[in-house]
Structure 1
Amino acid sequence: MSWKTLDDMDLAGKTVLTRVDINVPIENGRVTDATRITRIVPTIEAILAAGGTPMLIAHFGRPKGKVVDDMSLRPVVPALEQALGRKVTFIETLDGAENLTDEARAADVLLLENIRFHPGEEANDPEFARRLAGLGDIYCNDAFSAAHRAHASTEALAHLLPACAGRLMQAELQALQAALGAPQRPVVAVVGGAKVSTKLDLLGNLVEKVDQLVIGGGMANTFLAAQGLTVGTSLCEHDMAGTVRSIMTRAGASGCEILLPADVVVAREFKAGAAHDTVPAHACPEDAMILDAGPQSVARITTAFDAARTLIWNGPLGAFEIEPFDAATNAAAAHAAALSRAGKLVSVAGGGDTVAALNKSGAAADFTYISTAGGAFLEWMEGKVLPGVAALGG
């Protein structure tokens, strides 16, 4: 992959159209979680340090090409100013951006109103993209989380102006390249979650790329059932048995070992602190449900981690939301974190439940990289071309 970074661009005196993802949660007009805002600060500071003026382009929600007052980016301005320690000038309309006041021209940072208020954005309309391009001199994409969308501000703009990746985009691409593009081997992937049917493309790609594939969560139940094991009242896609066996055949042909639970934690009800037992994977009672992997399974997983050089993680090993069914996820995550901290493992994780599970376990801080990109992370792991990355030359 090859793409330019901010370091490759002459930004002095230039307006840098900077696509960011600040689609943050807002309650009562206030930002409740500024994580996505703090992650774009290095890019904005780098542009300012090089003498450029960042004009931020971002979306909020899904207004479907219409002005929706509740989806304005204006409430984000105070949190952005706090994170940057600078004044941010809010530009309400595209006309306003094309005819900046002297005060706006003198601002350190400009923020355009929700770009999805314009129908040309999601339509990737060439004329709309040209209008956007007229606002600046250089295009910087720092929104990997939106890179799987071929929109005007994520794809078309990159063809109309000198283009580069921002710091967050750069870090994301480098981490993913290290995990799946040119990884240190052996490579272990953990894939968990509720349903096999939602991760077919991911599994199909990974069995061709990794040395060991750990299956967890409800997905593991479907794999066990496909081998003829009883899974009681567990969450299970019995109709996916043939597909699962096909995945296992492909894995065998490509030299990928699939690790399924050897023992499981079962309960009769799904609630915190429910009475539970640990049984062999082949001995789930008819009236019980599998809610987590057992200690023998965790030992097999951590042994795999010990031998690995690269780990890709997407999805929990059990019903991590409630105790004690978070035990396997927490133990495996802690082990991966310790290996990463010691420099023995490159660990890259992503996906909504994954981030939540690793944060809950307390292990997230020691992973090499955790992607908050959601859909874009998954599509990359599925081996798909992301329009926003391809447009940068990656």
Structure 2
Amino acid sequence: MVKKTVKDLDLKGKKVLVRADFNIPMKDGKITNDNRIQAALPTLEYILEQNGKVIVFSHLGRVKTEEDKEGLSLRPVAERLSELLNKKVTFVSETRGEKLESAVNELNDGEIMMFENTRFEDVDGKKESKNDPELGKYWASLGDVFVNDAFGTAHRAHASNVGIASNIESAAGFLVEKEINFIGGAVDQPERPFVAILGGAKVSDKIGVIENLLTKADKVLVGGGMTYTFYKAQGKYIGNSLVEEDKIDLAKELLEKAGDKLILPVDSVVSSEFNNDAPTDVVGQNIPEGKMGLDIGPKTIELFEKELKGAKTVVWNGPMGVFEMSNFAKGTAAVCEILANLDDAITIIGGGDSATAAQQLGFEEDFSHISTGGGASLEYLEGKELPGIAAISDK
């Protein structure tokens, strides 16, 4: 890895700014899932062990007006972080000003504080989201070094990542380092055979990923709703299945370009209604009138298992069906299980719904890596440069 990591920094006695990704689900001011806080612990604990003074911050939700701020304070996150670290986390309910500066200056070695939601700066002119240079410079002035451990925002140039990194020495935290090593490594230097599995509803969401992976992977397996746009491009009947009419020509081009590298489902679980209680049937590649494809079928599961046998690197992004409904989650669960049981393979989930599926289905521990960034991991799989990572100091 050519970027500096937290281990390359001299941290003792330094004020260490840490951009974390604490954009977590909350309901009525209560945290409903603390996975992202847990994921940040190794980096924070390492800096504290090195006697750094930690100033941690994050965004939470979208903030455009003063009213939006309600329910989006990071105070509950600071309280949960304090419990997990078993250490006091001082919380400052400001994003700039004398109160914040005093709290930073009063920190002792090995102590930690957190300041308020960086998106609160968006109320007056989107200063955070538009990478306002003055704001980035101000936040940078609060610390001696900067550690970016928020992969989930790495595809965006914000004041709290690119803005700060442009002004002081910076490094990747352990979480960002892991993402670069796993996803970057899989795409740029995969151990072969390299198989990519792409699901989800729309071809349009995955165009760049499909195009990039067709040049890198040995096979690309396609599932989910986008199957039916490819089917229609092949002249098959799709009934009432999801289709992007404006992407049919593109699907034809991708099929021509891919040759036998792109593997489509050979059967589908169909129903006449988008409803978990509606009767289901399994059909081949032509969907009957009045029916819609909602999951891959058993023969496709067998086909995918065969294609994945012996794979050494697998990247998966997007569910195989409407996994939120149990009747249409079997394909996604089967892919999870196949990957969990692959011998000697590096298995990576590129964030988003497939990560949620793996967690809900209990396969989280069976993967080499589950990305913490949905949009960021997708853009990384496309081969795009991520501004948040590009801005980190080189070794």
Q: Into which bin does the TM-score normalised by the smaller protein fall?
A: over 0.9
Q: Which amino acid aligns with 1:330?
A: A
The Cα shift of 1:212 comes to 0.7
1:113 aligns with 2:116: yes
> Structure 1: how far apart are the matches of 2:325 and 2:103?
52
Deviations 1:254-275 (A, max 9, x none): xx61111112222222222432
Q: Which amino acid aligns with 1:54?
A: V
Bigger drift between 233-242 and 161-170 goes to 233-242
**2:85 counterpart residue number:** 84
Q: State whether residues 203 and 229 of structure 2, in contact with CA within 8 Å, keep that contact through their aligned partners in structure 1.
A: yes
Q: Which amino acid aligns with 1:48?
A: L
Three-state SS of the structure 1 residue aligned to 2:250 is helix
**2:279 counterpart residue number:** 275
Three-state SS of the structure 1 residue aligned to 2:241 is coil
Three-state SS of the structure 2 residue aligned to 1:229 is coil
The Cα shift of 1:75 comes to 2.2
> Structure 2: how far apart are the matches of 1:54 and 1:370?
26
| Structural mapping, 1:92-111, within 5 Å | 92-93=93-94, 94-95=96-97, 96-100=99-103, 104-105=107-108, 108-111=111-114
The Cα shift of 1:106 comes to 7.0
CA RMSD of aligned residues (A): 1.9
| Structural mapping, 1:16-35, within 5 Å | 16-35=16-35
Q: Which amino acid aligns with 1:264?
A: S
> Structure 1: how far apart are the matches of 2:65 and 2:271?
48
Three-state SS of the structure 2 residue aligned to 1:120 is coil
Choose which of 133, 136, 140 in structure 2 pairs with 1:129. 136
**2:248 counterpart residue number:** 241
Q: State whether residues 231 and 285 of structure 1, in contact with CA within 8 Å, keep that contact through their aligned partners in structure 2.
A: yes
> Structure 2: how far apart are the matches of 1:68 and 1:235?
37
Q: Which amino acid aligns with 1:317?
A: M
Runs of 4+ in 1 over 6 A off after TM superposition: none
> Structure 1: how far apart are the matches of 2:221 and 2:386?
26
Three-state SS of the structure 1 residue aligned to 2:341 is helix
Q: Figure out how many residues of one structure are paired with residues of the other and give that number.
A: 387
The Cα shift of 1:92 comes to 2.4
Q: State whether residues 89 and 109 of structure 1, in contact with CA within 8 Å, keep that contact through their aligned partners in structure 2.
A: yes
Choose which of 262, 265, 268 in structure 2 pairs with 1:261. 265
> Structure 1: how far apart are the matches of 2:104 and 2:331?
58
The Cα shift of 1:103 comes to 5.6
Q: Which amino acid aligns with 1:4?
A: K
> Structure 2: how far apart are the matches of 1:359 and 1:44?
24
| Structural mapping, 1:312-323, within 5 Å | 312-323=315-326
Deviations 1:89-148 (A, max 9, x none): 012232222223876557711101112222432232222222111111110000010111
Deviations 1:339-361 (A, max 9, x none): 1xx4x211111232111222233
**2:63 counterpart residue number:** 63
Q: State whether residues 51 and 110 of structure 2, in contact with CA within 8 Å, keep that contact through their aligned partners in structure 1.
A: no
**1:194 counterpart residue number:** 201
Unaligned runs of 5+ in 2: none
**1:352 counterpart residue number:** 352
The Cα shift of 1:88 comes to 0.4
Deviations 1:145-167 (A, max 9, x none): 01111111111211221111111
Q: State whether residues 334 and 361 of structure 1, in contact with CA within 8 Å, keep that contact through their aligned partners in structure 2.
A: no
Q: TM-score, normalised by structure 1?
A: 0.93
Q: State whether residues 170 and 393 of structure 2, in contact with CA within 8 Å, keep that contact through their aligned partners in structure 1.
A: no
Bigger drift between 100-109 and 357-366 goes to 100-109
Unaligned runs of 5+ in 1: none
Q: Which amino acid aligns with 2:25?
A: P
1:147 aligns with 2:154: yes
Q: Which amino acid aligns with 2:280?
A: H
